[in-house]
Amino acid sequence: MTNENKPTRLGAVHALLDSIQPTQTAFEQHWATADVAHLLDGSLYLDRSRGTATEAELSARIGRLIRYSASTGIDGILFTGSFFGDAVRQAREEIDIPVLASFDGLIARACTLDAPLEVIATAPDSVRLLVAELEAEAVRRKKTLQISGCAVPNAMDALVEGDATRHDQLVLEQVEKTDSDAIILFAQFSMERVLGQSNALRSVPVIGPAGEGVRRLLNLVG
């Protein structure tokens, strides 16, 4: 195959096993012609959640993963770990292809919306991180956003322990309880396993970081 006929190749770098399938599904829905190379380091999530590595150590590991992914001939990278935005932004300064942190696509989409926004996360820190990034981007764009957020207790633990059914049930219960006028923003890629079911419950959209990340990467690369 000549370079002219080579399909676009993209890298998806993960800190959680359960993020891989929702990310692959998003690529199949929004960019089916691309080849996607997934790279997983589950120790990132484990060490971060248990406090067994420093932020500097985690940042260095993320930098190595991104550089390795970039070295394989890909055209752009989507990093799916919601805790690691600062490390991704630092690493991409050294890379000459587009590299998206987990919230980048979601924030770009959210800033085009006029309805109230409700962040739902399965990891409590992700609520704080996503709300802070949304507010900062809104200030940069001189746009007013109405944002609230909540975490779904026990959902991430259930998923990591292998009880995906319980995770899904807890997330869907929170979706049903959310103000019917608010557009829901899922903070975790792994939550998109119930994106279709969530949208079926509501008349206003539920938006996830995998789909929006792929769409943003397509805009930058494609």
Higher-confidence residue of 31 and 5: namely: 31
Q: Is the pLDDT of residue 69 over 50?
A: yes
Rounded mean pLDDT, 78-89: 95
Q: What percent of the chain has pLDDT over 70?
A: 98
Rounded mean pLDDT, 40-63: 95
Residue 124 pLDDT: 87
Rounded mean pLDDT, 4-14: 89
Report the alpha-carbon distance of residue 106 to residue 210 in Å, rounded. Answer: 8
The two three-digit tokens of residue 16, written as one number: 């959680």
Fold of the 3-102+212-221 domain: Rossmann fold (3.40.50)
Q: Is the pLDDT of residue 1 over 50?
A: no
Angle between the N-to-C axes of helices 20-30 and 209-221, in degrees from 0 to 180, rounded to the nearest 10: 50
As a whole number of angstroms, the longest Cα–Cα distance in the chain is: 53
Inter-residue contact 85 to 133 (CB < 8 Å):
yes
Rounded mean pLDDT, 112-132: 95
Q: What is the pLDDT of residues 196-218, one digit of tens each?
A: 999 999 999 999 999 999 999 99
Q: How far apart are the two ends of the chain, measured CA to CA in Å?
A: 19
Supply the mean pLDDT for the chain. 95
Residue 185 pLDDT: 98
The CA angle 185-186-188, to the nearest 5 degrees, is 145
- Among residues 45, 135, 43, 133, the alpha carbon closest in space to that of 83 is found at 45
Phi, psi for 112 (deg, rounded to 5): -100, 0
Q: Is the pLDDT of residue 84 over 60?
A: yes
Q: Is the pLDDT of residue 55 over 70?
A: yes
Q: Would residue 13 be called left, alpha or beta, if left means φ above 0 and alpha means ψ between -120 and 50 degrees? A: beta
**Banded model confidence at residue 170, pLDDT cuts 50, 70, 90:** very high
**Banded model confidence at residue 7, pLDDT cuts 50, 70, 90:** confident
Inter-residue contact 201 to 176 (CB < 8 Å):
yes
Ranges of each domain in the chain: 3-102+212-221, 105-208
Q: Is the pLDDT of residue 222 over 90?
A: no
**Banded model confidence at residue 2, pLDDT cuts 50, 70, 90:** very low
Domain boundaries 105-208, corresponding CATH code: 3.40.50.1860
